[in-house]
Amino acid sequence: MGEKQTLLEFNGKLAYGDISGITQKLKQCMGDLNEPVGIYKKLLTIIVESLENIMKYTEKNGGQVPIFEVHPPSFQLVRNSGCYLVKATNPIRNSDIQALKKYIDSINSLNKTEIKSLYNTTIANGVFSEQGGAGLGMLEILKASDNKIGYTFDELNNDYSCFTINVELKCD
């Protein structure tokens, strides 16, 4: 299959029910494509973590703020010759960009053994943020994809930028 095929898309405010619906569609889609269970499980992890990151960030930072209505969060799963691409986008406060860049760059620099070790240490330490996570979402995405997390920040205004992650999962 040489051309891009969009398999799943979502735009707008996310709730847990939306995530559940998307994962049900993913399961159906993977069955229709006769994908191995391993690919399905990796995509499930990447997608759920990406969507939960969007949802938690939006809730924490005032999903009622007009920027979230003008630039709503979005998600897309595309299949393209030998791989899947998960793209997740949401507004982010400009004041949060540096810390997020630093974190993603630091975990992207780790090898598989280091990722596993950091993951286990993070779980063992049990240090959780006010959003309920311990920074495990991006680590889960990195572990599942076996690829670096691509990201961009596109300025929307003085207070917000559009944060996009791109995660590739090889399926061949």
Banded pLDDT at 35 (limits 50, 70, 90): very high
**Model confidence at 59: pLDDT above 70:** yes
Does residue 1 or residue 2 have the better pLDDT? Answer: 2
What is the reported pLDDT for 155?
95
Specify burial of residue 76 (Cβ count, 10 A radius: 0-12, 13-18, 19+). Answer: middle
**Model confidence at 58: pLDDT above 90:** no
Banded pLDDT at 67 (limits 50, 70, 90): confident
What is the reported pLDDT for 164?
97
C-alpha–C-alpha distance, residues 60 and 129, integer Å: 11
